[in-house]
Amino acid sequence: MTGITEGTYEKLKILADSAKFDVSCSTSGTARKNNGRIGNAQMAGCCHSWSADGRCISLLKVLFTNDCVYNCEYCVNRRSADCRRAAFEPAELAALTIEFYKRNYIEGLFLSSAVAVSPDHTSERILASLRMLRRDFGFAGYIHAKIIPGTSPELVHAIGLEADRLSVNAELPCRSSLERLAPQKKPEHIFTPMKQITNTLIDRQALRGPGTMFKGLDINSGDSYLSSGAYGRDSDPLSPGGDLIPRPHKRIKESFAPAGQTTQMIIGASGETDQQIMKVSEKIYHTFKMKRVYFSAYIPMTDSPLLPGRNTSPPLAREHRLYQADWLLRFYGFSSDELFDERHPDLDPDLDPKITWALRNLHMFPMEVNRAGMNELLRIPGLGTLSALRIIRQRRICTVRYEDLKKMGVVLKRARHFLTCSGHYYGCTDFTPESIKNEILQADGGVQLSMFDTAAENMSTIYQLSGLKVPGIPAAPSQKAGGTV
Amino acid sequence: MIDYLYDGTFEGLLTCIYRHYYSEKASGIFTEDSYQSSLLSRYRVIDTDAGQASKVYEAVDKKISSYDLRRIYKTFRSSADEKEMKILRYVVMGFKRGSCISMLHGDPVVFAVQQAEKKVGNEAHRLKGLLRFSVLRGGVFYSRVEPDNDVLEFLAGHFCDRFRNDAFIIHDIKRRKALVARDGSWYISDMDTDAIPPADAEEKEFRRLWRLYFNTTAIRERTNPRCQKNFMPQRYWKNLTEMTCGPAGTDRR
């Protein structure tokens, strides 16, 4: 047990507790055969356990140290917080990772850190740990490394050569919130490493975009990327990297962050609307061609006057809707403008964003499943990429009947209102947004119906929804957003 | 029409399919030990014939597709009811329709095989994560599993590559067999023993660290047991280090 000591237990307790609010735990995006002594990576990723909050555990997610010189208002590890501080030794962390990996507890390591002394000092320690893990221990499993804002380009590059995925936290969805809540983190310091990572990937023709968002485009080019920054103003034309970064080897094949980069932002801590949040994440996708933008519902841990009070419950339902909208951007060909209009800057808490969009655009429906193209099929609520592909495959050989749809994985209680099969319509009798909405809500059974029939003119449905928001918490949202929305 | 009984091997099932075409139509295919004869049905025990089996194997590969061959093999490893007849119907239909059979998603024959195959694939993937090794004295990794489907060999490639310099055993205690691997090569053998040495102090220490990590990383404000059970069904819990923990943190394994 080299490196593991008596104190490891306490350190793990402190440093895992400080890291638990980091969202990303994915291990997907790269496939690698064992090219070291132990370990490999699968394209689809692999979850190893699920903690009591329903979030998956696939990586050993820890901070290198939680001793921070910054004082961000929302953070549990801020300098003024009264909490126990600890730091791993590189050998200790590497040994712990390997021993956990051998027992198949984890798929790899997620290493982040608080800013001790300076960003560069911290990044050097992170780099030393990763190098030890890769070179001395021969670890070929998955590594996700956080880049600390303000780290020098040479260090970002060196960490990228060891890690599979890099991420820089955007922290908050807009510049003013960042200035208010995390005054020591400058937007430039966040976007410079993001840009450097994207540029390096473009340079090496190694960029793969998120889902179907860049379908048909050559994303390994800097075209769309140089025009605008993520916060709606041009990013500074900084040099993409320092002069000390070595050029890639001609003969030795080295990989730089093969699983790309991601970012995350806290929602519900500052006053942005859903529309602003989606706009920013869309811009981040387009500008930096990231794999994912993660959202983290703000959980009040401090008594700061700038933040929601201690008794505020975390906006989990809102986070769930945002993830659904995020899926629509990445895999369903939607743009953020389509999801909102002037009267609705927030997503509907009762219905998923795809249904809300469909109800606003009923003139496009119902669609004939035997004729609609892939992009059109993906617009039907209750149909996902898999079921749309199956419909298209079967269509080459024989007609798709209504009975077949369920077997293909279509969620009929939503989809039946928006499609026809060989000209037959199976949805509700009057084709209006209100009645379709009612039927879907009743089928979901999650929303209480009003006792008062206020809209007497619409007698086709007995139950009417109250215009008020239903009290109480909606059905527990699935923590892992995605699937068919 | 007659019921065929086979020895439970894939080759045995392929022999039954051969007989279905060349001697008498099958009304049912069963393994010998699970068969309950009735007054109304006749049955015949089929001896596995390597030649006949390989003829069917080749025919499925050539006339349907290698994708469908793999598909029926996965279905064969599932625990679906009457999987033998599902496979037979799929093969019969496949010989008529050719390789396009896998595109007929709405057809009940195809759907039945698709569902069974999906269960096997899903469970194999799930076990890649939900399997826990104990490092025994001498450095051999040992794991107990009780999967619903017979997925051992679908785990072999993944773990052999991952632990290519180590030796490991994945023990399916329900089916009394084990995947045994060393230095990147593997075989499957019967294993009917409880003679596994108890965990030593080092192993116990890592289990303790893992449980600590598991409990620490959960966010109390987001507690959602339904979601947890959805992703990690309770039937797997008894072989998971982090879920088999007594009230005082004692080890029940």
**Chain A residue nearest residue B104, CA to CA:** A394
Whether A339 has a pLDDT exceeding 50, the answer reads: yes
CA atoms within 13 A on the CB side of B128: 26
Q: In terms of domains, do A385 and A277 share one?
A: no
Distance from the Cα of A39 to chain B's closest Cα (Å) equals 4
Q: In terms of domains, do B97 and B13 share one?
A: yes
3-state helix, strand, coil in chain A (%, to 5): 35, 10, 55
Q: In terms of domains, do A149 and A296 share one?
A: yes
Residue B249 lies in a domain: no
Nearest to A255 by CA among A143, A180, A361: A143
Q: Which residues pair with residue B5 across a beta bridge?
A: B30, B45
For B44, the token pair is 């015949």
Q: Do A476 and B105 touch (CB under 8 A)?
A: no
* End residue of a domain, out of A339, A361, A386: A339
A456 touches chain B (CB under 8 A): no
Nearest to A191 by CA among A294, A115, A284: A284
pLDDT of residue B82: 93
Q: In terms of domains, do B184 and B145 share one?
A: yes
* End residue of a domain, out of A411, A428, A444: A444
pLDDT of residue A475: 38
Single-letter amino acid, residue B98 = G
pLDDT of residue A245: 76
3 state SS of A419: strand
Q: In terms of domains, do A172 and A267 share one?
A: yes
Q: Which residues contact A233 (CB under 8 A, 6 or more apart)?
A: none
Q: Do B228 and A103 touch (CB under 8 A)?
A: no
Q: In terms of domains, do B160 and B78 share one?
A: no
A402 touches chain B (CB under 8 A): no
Residue A23 lies in a domain: yes
A479 touches chain B (CB under 8 A): yes
Residue A406 lies in a domain: yes
Q: In terms of domains, do A243 and A358 share one?
A: no
Over residues B140-175, the pLDDT tens digits come to: 999 999 999 999 999 999 999 999 999 999 999 999
Over residues B172-209, the pLDDT tens digits come to: 999 999 999 999 899 999 988 777 888 889 999 999 99
Residue A91 lies in a domain: yes
Q: In terms of domains, do A90 and A126 share one?
A: yes
Between CA A343 and CA A477 the distance in angstroms is: 25
pLDDT of residue B169: 95
Q: Is residue A140 a contact partner of residue A36, using CB atoms and an 8 Å limit? A: yes
Residue B248 lies in a domain: no
Q: In terms of domains, do B178 and B96 share one?
A: no
Distance from the Cα of A53 to chain B's closest Cα (Å) equals 4
Q: Is residue B246 a contact partner of residue B239, using CB atoms and an 8 Å limit? A: no
Distance from the Cα of B81 to chain A's closest Cα (Å) equals 18
The number of folded domains in chain B is 3
Q: Is residue A434 a contact partner of residue A442, using CB atoms and an 8 Å limit? A: no
Q: Do B231 and A50 touch (CB under 8 A)?
A: yes
Other CB atoms within 10 A of residue B220 CB: 9
Place of tokens 């801020």: A78
pLDDT of residue A256: 93
The number of folded domains in chain A is 2
A310 touches chain B (CB under 8 A): no
Q: In terms of domains, do B95 and B154 share one?
A: no
Residue B95 lies in a domain: yes
Average pLDDT of the residues in A54-69: 94
What is this structure's pTM?
Answer: 0.88
Over residues A139-174, the pLDDT tens digits come to: 999 999 999 999 999 999 999 999 999 999 999 998
Q: Name the residue range of residue A385's domain.
A: 353-444
Distance from the Cα of A390 to chain B's closest Cα (Å) equals 7
Q: Do A408 and B125 touch (CB under 8 A)?
A: no
Q: In terms of domains, do A86 and A116 share one?
A: yes
Chain B environment of A46 (Cβ under 8 Å): 125, 128-129
Chain A environment of B217 (Cβ under 8 Å): 16-17, 19-20, 51, 57, 61
Residue in A38, A50, A405 nearest the CB of B165: A38
Q: In terms of domains, do A32 and A95 share one?
A: yes
Percent of residues, chain A, with pLDDT higher than 90: 64
pLDDT of residue B204: 93
Q: Do A12 and B213 touch (CB under 8 A)?
A: yes
Residues 116-135 of chain A with CB under 8 A from chain B are: none
Cα A479 to chain centroid, rounded: 12
Report residue A222's pLDDT band, with 50, 70 and 90 as the boundaries.
low
* Residue with the larger pLDDT of the pair A404 and A24: A404
Per-residue pLDDT of chain B (253 residues), as tens digits, is 899 999 999 999 999 999 999 999 999 999 988 888 777 788 999 999 999 999 999 999 999 999 999 999 999 999 999 999 999 999 999 999 999 999 999 999 999 999 999 999 999 999 999 999 999 988 999 999 999 999 999 999 999 999 999 999 999 999 999 999 999 899 999 988 777 888 889 999 999 999 999 999 999 889 999 999 999 999 999 999 999 864 444 454 4
Q: In terms of domains, do B50 and B138 share one?
A: no
* End residue of a domain, out of B98, B123, B148: B123
Residue B251 lies in a domain: no
Q: In terms of domains, do A265 and A123 share one?
A: yes
Q: In terms of domains, do B48 and B100 share one?
A: yes
pLDDT of residue B193: 77
pLDDT of residue A238: 44
Residue A473 lies in a domain: no
Between CA B128 and CA A344 the distance in angstroms is: 44
Residue A476 lies in a domain: no
Q: In terms of domains, do B96 and B17 share one?
A: yes
A215 touches chain B (CB under 8 A): no
Chain A environment of B208 (Cβ under 8 Å): 9
* Chain A to chain B Cβ contacts (< 8 Å): 168
Between CA A27 and CA A46 the distance in angstroms is: 6
Q: In terms of domains, do B205 and B173 share one?
A: no
* End residue of a domain, out of B66, B101, B123: B123
Q: In terms of domains, do B107 and B6 share one?
A: yes
Residue B195 lies in a domain: no
Whether A461 has a pLDDT exceeding 50, the answer reads: no
Between CA A126 and CA A139 the distance in angstroms is: 15
Q: Do B210 and A104 touch (CB under 8 A)?
A: no
Q: In terms of domains, do A181 and A273 share one?
A: yes
Q: In terms of domains, do B67 and B155 share one?
A: no
Chain A environment of B161 (Cβ under 8 Å): 33-34, 40
Residue A462 lies in a domain: no
Torsion angle of alpha carbons B135, B137, B138, B140, nearest 10°? -30
3 state SS of A70: coil
* End residue of a domain, out of A339, A367, A399: A339
Q: In terms of domains, do A312 and A375 share one?
A: no
Residue B139 lies in a domain: yes
Residue A455 lies in a domain: no
Q: Which residues contact B52 (CB under 8 A, 6 or more apart)?
A: B14, B15, B18, B19
β-strand B134-135 against B43-45: which pairing, if any? unpaired
Other CB atoms within 10 A of residue A208 CB: 16
Q: In terms of domains, do B72 and B179 share one?
A: no
Q: ipTM score here?
A: 0.93
Q: In terms of domains, do A146 and A255 share one?
A: yes
Report residue A24's pLDDT band, with 50, 70 and 90 as the boundaries.
confident
Residue A56 lies in a domain: yes
Q: Name the residue range of residue B138's domain.
A: 131-190
Q: In terms of domains, do A363 and A226 share one?
A: no
CATH of the domain at A99: 3.20.20.70
pLDDT of residue A242: 52
Report residue A312's pLDDT band, with 50, 70 and 90 as the boundaries.
confident
A46 touches chain B (CB under 8 A): yes
Residue in B106, B166, B206 nearest the CB of A404: B106
